[in-house]
Chains A and B, each alone.
Chain A
Amino acid sequence: MSDQIEEKLKNYRTAPFDARFPNTNQTRNCFQNYLDFHRCNKALSAKDQDTAPCQWYQRVYKSLCPISWVQKWDDQLEAGNFPGKI
């Protein structure tokens, strides 16, 4: 499983088609991947596993999200008032 992930991370070009978000508005896709990255980190580090597979979500949200959004959410996470559930 993990070498599949390494393979996918090495061959990464852009965010793949996600059947959950088939329409033009990809806002939720961006936010969901941001949430999934942080949830993945939290879940895998709670189980004491390597968080390397979570990099997939980070690559996807960096491809999709405007930089200003990512900066705003990172600031909110540090300040502790991020609105999403992680």
Chain B
Amino acid sequence: MPSMLQTVGKQLRNHPALIPLFIFIGGGATMSVLYLGRLALKNPDVSWDRKNNPEPWNKLEPTQQYKLFAINMDYSKLKKDRPDF
């Protein structure tokens, strides 16, 4: 593992134009991992503990937005319209 890093370091010193490659690949990989993490932890369809958290989508407020981009949907104007019981 450290020898791989030494090899990469040597290659970068000899060909510094490779640095943007690492930046972009690294950035893309980070974004993928972050999105998968958000899906695993924050998605209301996901329940890791079915005994204590059986229906996590019911915990969303009526005005709470889960989607990253919601076009044509003004969440602040929504009201809770289901009867309580």
Binding site for B on A (CB under 8 A): 1, 5, 8, 16-17, 19-23, 28, 32, 36, 39-40, 43-44, 53-54, 56-57, 85
Contact = CB atoms under 8 A, between A and B. Distances in A.
25 contacts: A1-B83, A8-B81, A16-B81, A17-B73, A17-B78, A19-B60, A19-B62, A19-B63, A19-B78, A20-B44, A20-B58, A20-B60, A21-B57, A22-B65, A22-B67, A28-B57, A32-B57, A32-B58, A36-B82, A44-B85, A53-B83, A54-B83, A56-B81, A56-B83, A57-B82
B61 A19 contact: yes
How large, as a class, is the contact surface on chain B?
A: 20 to 34
Contacts of B75: 19
B4 to A, nearest CB: 42
B83 A28 contact: no
B24 interface: no
